[in-house]
A = this chain, B = another copy of it.
Amino acid sequence: MTGYQDLRDWLNTLTKNDKLAVVDRPINKNTELAPLVRLQYRGLPEEKRKGFLFNNVRGEGGIKYDMRVATGIYASSREMYALSLDCEPTIESIDKRWVEAQLHPLEPRLVESGPAQEVVITREEMEKTGKGLNILPVPVEIPGFSGNIRTSVPFMTKDPKSGWVNVGTYSAHMVGKTKMQWEIERHNHGWAHYTTAKEIGKDLDCAVVIGGPPVLFYVGSAKLPFGVNELTIAGGLVEAPLDVVKCKTVNLEVPATSEVIIEGKVSLGPLEAGNSYGEYNGYMAHDVRMRPVVNVTAITFRKDPIFVHVMSQMPPSESSKVRTVSSDNIYYKFLKYDCKVPGILDVAWHEISQASWCVIRMKKINNTHPWQALHLAAGYDAWWGKFFIAVDDDIDARDVESVIWALSWRVQPKRDTEVIGGRFAGLDPSAYKPDASHEEKLMPNVTGASAILIDATRKWPYTPVSLPRKEYMENALKIWRELKFPELSLRQPWYGYELGFWPQESREDADFVVKGDFESVGKRLAARTVNKP
Contact = CB atoms under 8 A, between A and B. Distances in A.
Interface in A429-486: 429-431, 433-435, 437-438, 449-452, 458-469, 471-473, 475-477, 479-480, 482-483, 485-486
A356 B408 contact: yes
Nearest to A482: B25
Nearest to A37: B476
A427 B420 CA distance: 30
A483 to B, nearest CB: 7
A465 B149 contact: no
Contacts of A414: 419, 421, 450
A533 to B, nearest CB: 5
Nearest to A274: B525
Contacts of A480: 36, 39
Contacts of A429: 409-410, 458, 462-463
- Copies of this chain present in the complex amount to 2
A147 B412 contact: no
Contact of A176 (B286, B450, B522): B522
A31 B514 contact: yes
A96 to B, nearest CB: 27
A164 interface: no
A187 interface: no
Interface stretch (A80-88, A254-262, A277-285): A277-285
B271 A463 contact: no
A294 to B, nearest CB: 12
A60 to B, nearest CB: 4
Contacts of A465: 282-284, 314
Given A490-B42, A525-B181, A404 B353 contact: yes
B404 A357 contact: yes
A252 interface: no
Contact of A413 (B134, B386, B509, B522): B386
A533 B27 CA distance: 38
A345 B314 CA distance: 24
Q: Which of A281, A433, A467, A521: most chain B CB closer than 10 A?
A: A467
Interface stretch (A136-144, A205-213, A227-235): A136-144
A121 interface: no
A504 to B, nearest CB: 12
Nearest to A313: B466
A1 interface: no
A365 interface: no
A162 interface: no
A468 B186 contact: no
A68 B187 CA distance: 69
A181 B521 CA distance: 12
B494 A143 contact: no
Contact of A529 (B59, B273, B459, B509): B273
A466 B513 contact: no
A483 B147 contact: no
A119 interface: no
A488 interface: yes
A132 to B, nearest CB: 10
A145 interface: yes
Nearest to A355: B408
A337 interface: no
A467 to B, nearest CB: 5
Contacts of A486: 44, 48
A262 to B, nearest CB: 14
27 contacts: A23-B483, A25-B479, A38-B467, A38-B468, A43-B488, A44-B486, A145-B464, A146-B510, A175-B519, A176-B522, A272-B525, A273-B525, A273-B528, A281-B466, A282-B466, A283-B462, A284-B465, A284-B496, A284-B506, A313-B466, A356-B409, A386-B407, A413-B452, A414-B421, A429-B462, A430-B458, A434-B463
Given A142-B466, A272-B526, A283-B465, 4 more contacts: A271-B533, A273-B528, A283-B463, A283-B499
